[in-house]
Amino acid sequence: QDVPTKLVAKAVPLPMTVRGHWFLSPRTEYSVAVQTAVKQSDGEYLVSGWTALMSPSLSPDYAKEHLAQLQEKAELIAGRMLRFSVFYRNQHKEYFQHVRMHCGNVMKPSLKDNSGSHGSPTSGMLHGIFFSCNTEFNTGQPPQDSPYGRYRFQIPAQRLFNPNTNLYFADFYCMYTAYHYVVLVLAPKGSSGDLFCRERLPQLDISSNKFLTCCVEEGELVYRHAQDSILEVIYTEPVDLSLGVLGEISGHQLMSLSTANAKKDPSCKTCNISVGR
């Protein structure tokens, strides 16, 4: 029997067919029916009827090797490293009021939304708190604008990122714009978040990588972030507001740049990979 891929591809609309392999989107439900074709002596094909529809099943998340491919792509555009000293989190005033009044002044990890790559193993699975660390290259300070709210919590970088913390690469994506986002996870060693990431995500050397580093220089911890990517840093543990400073920013709230449940541009050649199934 010789069933040519092109013949099957004409009968079954799939995302892509290459040399007999089907490239399916992760976390997507597919139902499958099978049809065979036998090449006859006259060169024509005898095509069977369709089998019964098989039960729907979900294609799996990206494996570590797929995330490693994404990481390599992200490294190509990361740019030079800039120094920074604080992680920060922007939210609405009501968020911080709720934390103070109902959560004992402690920000609690929440389940990551479905923003970013469709196959990210952290989406809907990992609990954490989103922080930013990007700075303006001309001032070395966090930008005064934010997509997420006018109130900003700033915490010294060493409170979240130090030699007792593991760092993982989680995602690389864009939202139909020139901006590209890199998602990283900071997890204290031995924590439940660390165990989750160790099984699913590529681990980065905290002192030598293209995105976010923590190095000892002249006896002090020095922090740097990639200039040309917007870093989204997920910290997997609760954070007490008393460890930092809360204040109001002077800039604008840029809602159009919010990545909440943002869908990745599937056509971008910079941040997409092909995953054969």
Angle ∠(119,184,138) on CA atoms, nearest 5: 130
Decide if 167 contacts 191 (C-beta within 8 A). no
Torsion of CA 184, 201, 213, 209, to 10 degrees: -120
- 160 by Cβ neighbours in 10 Å (0-12 / 13-18 / 19+) ranks as buried
Quick one: which of 30, 25, 22 has its CA closest to 56? 30
Q: Tell me how crowded residue 88 is: count the other CB atoms within 10 A of its CB.
A: 20
pLDDT value of residue 17: 43
Query: What is the structure's pLDDT at 83?
Result: 95
Domain boundaries of the chain, sorted by first residue = 5-58, 64-257
Closest CA to 243 of 76, 107, 97: 107
pLDDT of residue 146: 83
pTM above 0.85, yes or no: no
Q: What is the pLDDT of residue 11?
A: 47
List the chain pLDDT tens, one digit each, 277 residues: 444 554 444 444 444 444 444 444 554 554 555 566 667 777 777 777 666 655 444 444 789 999 999 999 999 999 999 999 999 999 999 999 999 999 999 999 999 988 888 888 999 999 999 999 999 888 889 988 887 888 999 999 999 999 999 999 999 999 888 889 999 999 999 999 999 999 999 999 999 999 999 999 999 999 999 999 999 999 999 999 999 999 998 865 555 555 565 678 889 999 998 764 3
pLDDT at 20: 43
pLDDT computed for residue 148 by the predictor:
81
Residue 245 φ/ψ, nearest 5 degrees: -130, 135
3-state secondary structure of 30: strand
